[in-house]
Structure 1
């Protein structure tokens, strides 16, 4: 059977999408190539016509996910949009649905253990997000602090078993970010 000219691209896109969801739900290292391919209805052998290795797939997932995070959290930002992003980021919906949210809280440890190329790629996208926030907040250090606090708060909230305590972590982080920004004589922003 002949496939359309776009079949390989469509299959690669399905594999990236499915693998990203799987990685954000369960971690990337927990699923083998056969499992990743089975999730999109193909055999493990077909994997190598799309990626030379599982590490190459992971690098592509990191690039794609962080690019999407930049689009959601950093594109064309103003203070009101930044505030809405922070509220969504530090929400129970984000805690409960890691597969549809930011990859950093879920994949950060795996990125840290990856080879230098993956870490450098992640660095590019994280720095772009930080630069966008720094331009809004007019502070490089405040942007790094808020970015780090958001990721950390989400990790801690996901580690906890009790929803009330999870909400407390998220609200405390959001309130503290508000105080940090207000300490610069701004509401959530200027």
Structure 2
């Protein structure tokens, strides 16, 4: 039985949405197709009507998450203050404690680099993220926006990874606040 195109698209979106959340929360290797389809409230067999394999889903999922990441950047004013607000949001305790709803890089990129089929999508994601930061925000005239955006991205991702890794709340908060302070200037 064929489903209407709109219904098929809605199911496809549900799978991608649940995959994005579960992969960031638990890691790709810890989420089975069965787990994913159960979360999407669909049958296991219907997965293969949407994706050839789990690896194909992972690549599509990275591209899917990229769209929301770029929108999150663009939702900030293109000023120095907007850039600081974005950094504060990225490095918030809320983002730290809810990896399923926030940036893929800080929760999943180390695992994805081990999957050759996912690397092109990861490259697109990181490139688009850096380019959006470089072009969306205003930077001092004497600086190279791309270089600044690369340093900012590395600082954001690194700080979030470290803040999630430690088991000391005060230390975790200190890491986040120190990098927020660094990024609030023209660094």
Same fold per superposition (TM over 0.5):
yes
- Partners of 2:40 and 2:129 lie apart in 1 by 31
> What's the offset of the Cα at 1:123?
1.7
Task: Give the alignment's Cα RMSD to 1 decimal.
Answer: 2.0
Q: What is the count of residue pairs matched by the alignment?
A: 180
TM-score by length of 2: 0.87
TM-score by length of 1: 0.86
Q: Does structure 2 retain, via aligned residues, the 8 Å contact 1:66–1:122?
A: no
> What's the offset of the Cα at 1:47?
0.8
Q: Which runs of 5+ in 2 are unaligned?
A: none
Deviations 1:121-161 (A, max 9, x none): 22223222222323432422221111101001000001112
> What's the offset of the Cα at 1:66?
1.8
Q: Does structure 2 retain, via aligned residues, the 8 Å contact 1:65–1:103?
A: yes
- Partners of 1:31 and 1:127 lie apart in 2 by 26
Mean alpha-carbon deviation: is it higher for 32-41 or for 72-81?
72-81
Secondary structure, counterpart of 1:29 in structure 2: helix
- Partners of 1:33 and 1:131 lie apart in 2 by 33
Q: 2:147 matched to 1:146? A: no
Alignment of 1:76-155 (within 5 A): 78-79=78-79, 80-115=81-116, 117-135=117-135, 136-137=138-139, 138-139=143-144, 140-155=146-161
- Given the superposition, is the C-alpha separation of residues 130 and 156 from structure 1 closer, same or farther in structure 2, using an over 3 Å criterion? same
> Of residues 167, 172, 177 in structure 2, which corresponds to 1:171?
177
Counterpart in 2 of 1:66? Answer: 66
Kindly indicate whether structure 1 or structure 2 has the higher relative contact order, using CA contacts under 8 Å at least 6 residues apart: 2
Q: Where in structure 1 do 4 or more consecutive aligned residues deviate above 3 Å?
A: 1-5, 74-77
